[in-house]
Chain A
């Protein structure tokens, strides 16, 4: 009974990619993806997605633990707020970031006053935009795992005399590893595909802010074949990341 809808679901995901493959000119594929602008975009995408994944881990792990373990009132509201970037249209996210960190935004004014630099149009802006949209994926996977596991191990550890930091390091963190692995993969993949917030907040300039998705969009204006080739490259990278990291992440071998 579950087979027909399951097949439909799978087809919905796979067939569009097949459509791209059919449309693409595979003989030109190598030359199209090795152009300077494509390689620059790929490099920038890998760099920024990597950096924003690190940012997601550094900021998202503590947030997930707080959300899952805190008994404070209002935490439920916070949990909903964390999901906001998932439902906001990316362009709206980009505008929101612009109003905060743009030259006229209240935090942006502060940054400019302190450093003399502005945030938009920089690679840092790309990383911020990607972190903004990718972090919920990490927090949600971790928080779910933490709540699923419960806190009995942590309580036992602390009754046995472990200090809070030791409990976090020796008990909470190992419990989290499988979920952390899949959360990392998800946020990296999301950061890699980020488009709307980046183009709105960071702009688009080769080597500085033009990531692979933005390059696809720009190329589509003049040469659809080249845009399709780049789109395939993006898919290849995403699939490679998921295929390489996901199984290990699920088994929790990443340690």
Chain B
């Protein structure tokens, strides 16, 4: 019920919004924009969402941050959303194949890997090659998820083979294991390491350039707030959006 009520409300609001075609001047209508976004966008999109709300009075931006593939699954199963932002091209392609997108997706940011180590870098890790040393507990993402496929690509292109103690399901789990001290190092996105500054230290390595992840964004087909969705998409792609994304370490496409 708790989930149903807002959904019904949103539907009702959407219905009333569609009913009046002429621009509303006197009363500010309240609308909710639902954004499905990859978990690695939590911090940056959170800020962008607030900014978008400030610029569009009456608009509330609701986020669902999860693994990109879980989000695609929900969309293809009929979940209602307006915007979808994926952490990789593969999942956006899956969404396109599932016919849940309206128009072409555009890449708005890029991300690359970095090494997360414990605070103060107790094991003195300087680069990717150090991670292959014996006696180190290294954690990576499973090859099935975007950060894991990037980790695999980096290993292939650099010739460094890691023996991970665990292949985690998402980048946040890798960070958690480094933060708790159970892993000495983990391969994460540079953005996650930046957001967790103070809890982990970040070690950049040049080989990361061999596996750049593209982040595409698209409007969802039959979006309840299609206009707002297009607006939000342009906002993310705008200079202001890029600046905010760059703050946590995202690159520009």
| CB-CB under 8 A for A98 and B145, given A121-B165, A205-B166, A222-B69 | no
Task: Say whether A121 contacts B169, CB under 8 Å.
Answer: no
State the CA gap A10–B137 with chains docked (Å).
47
Instruction: Chain B residues near A220: list those with CB within 8 A.
Output: 69, 73
In the complex, what residues of A have CB within 8 A of residue B139's CB? Answer: 203
A218–B148 alpha-carbon span in the complex (Å): 11
> How many angstroms from the CA of A224 to the CA of B77 in the assembled complex?
12
Query: When the two chains form their complex, are residues A203 and B180 in contact, meaning their CB atoms are under 8 A apart?
Result: no
Question: With A104-B181, A203-B165, A218-B169 in contact, do A224 and B144 touch (Cβ < 8 Å)?
Answer: no
| Contact, CB under 8 Å: A221 / B181 | no
**Contacts of B167 on A, CB cut-off 8 Å?**
203-206, 210, 218
Q: Do A121 and B182 form a contact, CB below 8 Å, given A204-B167, A204-B169? A: yes
A53 at the interface (CB under 8 A from B): no
A121 touches B181 (CB 8 A): no
Contact of B168 among A118, A204, A222 (CB under 8 A): A204
A220 to B70, CA, bound (A): 8
Is the Cβ of B69 less than 8 Å from the Cβ of A221? yes
B137: chain A residues within 8 A (beta carbon): 118, 121
Q: Is B67 located at the chain interface by the 8 A CB criterion?
A: yes
A205 touches B164 (CB 8 A): yes
B142 CB contact (under 8 Å) in A102, A103, A218: A218
**Which residues of chain A come closer than 8 Å to B169, judged between CB atoms?**
199, 204, 217-218, 221
Asked if B177 lies at the interface with its beta carbon under 8 angstroms from chain A, I say yes
Residue A40 is within 8 A (CB to CB) of chain B in the complex: no
**Residues of chain B whose beta carbon lies under 8 Å from any beta carbon of chain A:** 67, 69, 73, 137, 139, 142, 144-145, 164-169, 173, 177, 180-182
Q: List 18 A-B contacts (CB under 8 A).
A: A102-B180, A103-B180, A118-B137, A118-B182, A120-B182, A199-B169, A203-B165, A203-B166, A204-B142, A204-B166, A204-B169, A205-B166, A209-B166, A218-B142, A218-B169, A220-B69, A221-B142, A221-B145
